[in-house]
Amino acid sequence: MKLSGLKLVALLLSFAVFGLNGTGAWAALEPAQDSIPVDETDEMRFSADEMQHDRDLDIITARGNVKVFHGDSILTADVVVYNRRRNLVSASGNATLLEPTGDVVFAEFMELTGDMKTGIIQDLRAVLSDSSLLAASGGRRTAGNRLNMRNAVYSPCKLCEDDPTRPPLWQIKAVRVIHDKDRQTVEYSDAWLEVAGVPIIYTPYLSHPDPTVKRRSGFLIPTFGSSTSLGAMTATPYFLNIASNADATLTPIFTDKEGVIVHTEYRHRFTEGVFDARGSITDATSAADSTYTTETGVAGIRGHIAAKGRFDYDETWRWGFDLNRASDDTYMSRFGFNGDNTLPTLGNSLASRGFVEGFRKRNYTHVAVTDFQDLQEEDDGNTPLIMPLVDYNHVGEPDQYGGQTVLDVNFVSLSRDLGNDMQRLSLRGGWQLPHVTTGGSVYSLSTSLNGDFYNVKNLARSGGQDDFTGAAYRLTPQAALDWRYPLVREEGNVYQLFEPIAAAVVSPYGGNSDKIPNEDSRNFEFDDTNLFNTNRFSGIDRFEGGPRLNYGFKWGVFGREGGNTTLLLGQSYRYKADDTFAAGSGLEDNFSDIVGRIHVSPGEGLNMYYRTRLDKDTYEVRRNEVDLTAGGPALNLSTRYIFFDSENNSEYPGREEISSTVSSQFTSTWRGSIGATRDMAERDMRSASMGLTYEDECFVFSSTLSRAFFQNRDLHPEDSIIFRIVFKTLGEFSSDVNVINPNKP
């Protein structure tokens, strides 16, 4: 058997160092063929090109590509000397110490104890686990958890590749820096913050968590600014790390005109649920120059709360709640808390609810109570309290023919201070059968019987009739047959799909008596999404009756590289006109308007959706909606245009609006954008903004200039310019300055 020079040296050294074992055999060298143990505990192992052992002094010297392993720590250097008697390891020449935490320490010389936890380091450089850099003229390492450095520099910024001697974008220089791993803190004494090598801020003391810290209690970077409505202001958030699964942030906002506003956020994670809450409060009484005015006067307590909870009871049931309340109509908009809502608003209102829901196989149950806070200037008392709303949905197992039974049950009770009250029970049972023929036709047959039972109070009716109080009901059987015939054609790398569609629906006329209120189907819209629905109303209170035929087609071209273009076009025909549909809805006559949708996406650089509704007689456009995204990171255009006519008896007027944003990533670090929204019908701008941002691995600077044209009571049009500065790993600084509008009252 032949041994290489390195293996022979290792074998001889092992004999010289360890001798014979108790049985008279050679001590085994098991860990690795290029490494040997060098202490009795077998905890330190060496690997090197050349190793020597001075038996008189008991010193081991390793040269060339030296690696020393101790636990999870690894020391590499050109030369390593291990004094076994003193238990000291000296490393020189490109010395590197890799820590179990991921930190890497570089030095020209290190002298450490055998466990590599204590010692001195000269000409130190360190890369922390988040790629931040530390450098110092020297340091002392204690117990593996504390590194005390002198004349140190810290920065998370990368050095210039062309000229590494140039200062980084920003850095902190300090006479003394202590990295305490037990406390997970980096502390600075007599420190300067330098930007591009220029000192700008001095502090006698500074500390921040090290990269291993995810959350810690303490003050966050404050925000300073000014606005025409609040005056000069500063916000000083304090983060409270309550537990590993709970935290809170308390932010007092000191303003010149509105006194102190306190905003809080609390988050809690449970084993079986989550809870989040946000809120704010201010005392307008103490405001020196308050312009706040509501029906209660010019002063008082203002505030809001937004809380959300979701909790699992078991594998089937869960419960939750959403609480949204504000002291007055405009408070959340005035102080910028609109994003705190946990539920979408219902028109101009805040919704709060509690619910229980269950999921089991093919069954779903939902029970909820919902209350709304009206935020309109004139509260007519017509906002309902929903208590309760019950939904049950069931889909049966496929039978021998492949058909399935379905059952939907809904119960709701609505009450108001003013206006009508209502209780409704709705039962929808049916059977549906899909079928595909050998010729390729796809059929779907469905039958149903719908029963709706109402108890109403003070229901207003048209035509000079008295308000109705009493019971009403509606029974409506329905049958529908849907037919589709998809045809596919392939040519090279492109294939086409053409699919004619027809759906016949049969149900009795009428059913929408004036004794039945309309609570959930008020804002009807006929478009491509409900063209083939058996009931095009969004809710239960209105039912589409009479025999009718829906027809149209889909066509698409699809490329193997991912590009595609699709088109849908269709229309509906009914034997008799139905006055349930308001004038302007597109369904008020025998033949409906024509609805369509086009989607064009030839590649990543272009994506366009176009939806339209055309008058059946004149082909005049009654609805246009365009969503366009074009370009790439260098230049990107995003535009949305929407136009639709008003409908009779609708809560919403017609609308024509366009909003566009142009953005560009100028370089790898600079990007900008310009955007605006314009009301085409009123010929008035709604908003405009322009932004510029610089961002690299350690620093963010952004500025946004914007104007809001919205006006509502104590909310007025306002110009603002916002600057935001972020020193990554240290925190964030932002400045909000609103430019006074000379036309503002």
Cα atoms in the Cβ-side hemisphere of radius 13 Å centred on 607: 7
Q: Give the separation between CA 133 and CA 512, rounded to whole angstroms.
A: 73
156 domain-assigned: yes
Amino acid 375: pLDDT: 81
Burial class (CB in 10 A: 0-12, 13-18, 19+), 437: exposed
Predicted pLDDT of residue 651: 59
Split at pLDDT 50, 70, 90, the class of 333 is: confident
Range of the domain at 188: 5-209
Residue 237 pLDDT: 86
Residue 305 is assigned to a structural domain of this protein: no
Question: Which residues lie below 8 Å from residue 701, measured CB to CB, with a gap of 6+?
Answer: 693, 694, 695, 723, 724, 725, 726
Confidence at residue 22, expressed as pLDDT on a 0 to 100 scale: 33
For residue 89, tell me if it sits in a domain: yes
- Looking at 10-24, 681-695, 719-733, which range is the least confident one? 10-24
Confidence band for 34, pLDDT divided at 50, 70 and 90: very low
* Residue of higher predicted confidence among 225 and 173: 173
- Report if residue 115 sits inside a domain: yes
Residue 302 has pLDDT above 90, yes or no: no
Please check the confidence at residue 374 and state whether its pLDDT lies above 90: no
Residue 60 lies in a domain: yes
Structure tokens that stand for 349 in this block: 């209102």
pLDDT in tens, 531-557: 999 999 889 999 999 999 999 999 999
The first and second tokens of residue 733, run together, are: 């600084």
| Calpha distance 394→373 (Å, rounded) | 33
**CB 489 within 8 Å of CB 473:** no
Distance CA 460, CA 23 (A): 106
Question: Which of these, 572, 598, 597, lies nearest to 585 by C-alpha position?
Answer: 572
pLDDT-based confidence at residue 231 (cuts at 50, 70, 90)? confident
Answer whether residue 161 is part of any domain. yes
SS3 509: coil
Least confident span in 124-128, 216-220, 586-590, 667-671:
216-220
- Contact call for residues 645 and 622 (beta carbons, < 8 A): yes
218 located within any domain? no
Per-residue pLDDT for 378 more than 80?
A: no
Work out the average pLDDT over 275-289: 78
User: How many Å apart are CA 188 and CA 730, to the nearest integer?
Assistant: 13
Mean pLDDT of 553-562: 92
Inform me whether the pLDDT recorded for 523 exceeds 50: yes
**Stretch 302-317: mean pLDDT:** 93
36-45, 276-285, 370-379, 619-628: range with highest mean pLDDT: 619-628
User: Helix or strand or coil: residue 646?
Assistant: coil
Q: Can you say whether the dihedral through the CA atoms of 709, 711, 715, 716 is positive or negative?
A: positive
Report d(CA 478, CA 514) in Å as an integer.
21
Task: Determine if residue 284 is left, alpha or beta; phi over 0 gives left, psi from -120 to 50 gives alpha, anything else beta.
Answer: alpha
Lowest mean pLDDT, pick from 168-177, 252-261, 564-573, 634-643: 252-261
* CATH code of residue 101: 2.60.450.10
| pLDDT digits 0-9 by tens, 649-688 | 665 567 889 999 999 999 989 999 999 999 888 888 888 9
In this prediction, residue 712 has a pLDDT band, given cuts at 50, 70 and 90, of low
pLDDT digits (tens, 9 = 90+) for 16-32: 333 333 323 222 223 33
Kindly indicate the confidence band of residue 216, based on its pLDDT and cuts at 50, 70 and 90: confident
Q: Give me the chain's average pLDDT, please.
A: 83
Q: What pLDDT is stored for residue 29 in this prediction?
A: 27
User: Of 341, 285, 517, which Cα lies nearest the Cα of 416?
Assistant: 517
pLDDT value of position 506: 95
The span from the CA of 118 to the CA of 186, in Å, is 18
Task: Place 500 in a pLDDT band, splitting at 50, 70 and 90.
Answer: very high
Whole-number Å distance between alpha carbons of 704 and 701: 10
* Residues near 209 by beta carbon (within 8 Å), at least 6 away in sequence: 184, 185, 186, 216
Task: State yes or no: pLDDT of 71 exceeds 70.
Answer: yes
pLDDT digits 0-9 by tens, 453-466:
999 999 988 877 88
CA-based R_g, the chain, Å: 37
Q: Is the pLDDT assigned to residue 296 strictly greater than 60?
A: no
Q: Is 547 left (phi over 0), alpha (psi -120 to 50) or beta?
A: beta
Residue with more model confidence, 268 or 160:
268
Return the pLDDT at 297: 41
Percent of the chain with pLDDT over 70: 86
Q: Give per-residue pLDDT as tens, 79-116.
A: 999 888 888 889 998 899 988 878 898 998 989 888 88
Q: Higher-confidence residue: 702 or 278?
A: 278
| Per-residue pLDDT at 316 exceeds 50 | yes
Report pLDDT for 79. 92
Buried b (16+ CB within 10 A) or exposed e, 32-70: eebbbbbeeeeebbbbbeebebeeeeebbbbbeebbbbb
Better-predicted residue by pLDDT, 220 or 449: 449
Residue 668 lies in a domain: no
Confidence (pLDDT) at 17: 34
Identify the pLDDT of residue 330: 79
| Alpha carbon distance 704, 479 (integer Å) | 57
Burial class (CB in 10 A: 0-12, 13-18, 19+), 517: buried
User: What gap in Å lies between CA 89 and CA 75, rounded to an integer?
Assistant: 10
Please give the pLDDT value at position 743.
Answer: 37
**Do residues 570 and 597 make contact, with C-beta atoms less than 8 angstroms apart?**
no
- pLDDT given for residue 49 in this prediction: 87
Instruction: State the Cα angle at 147 between 146 and 150, rounded to 5°.
Output: 145
Structural domain count of the chain? 1
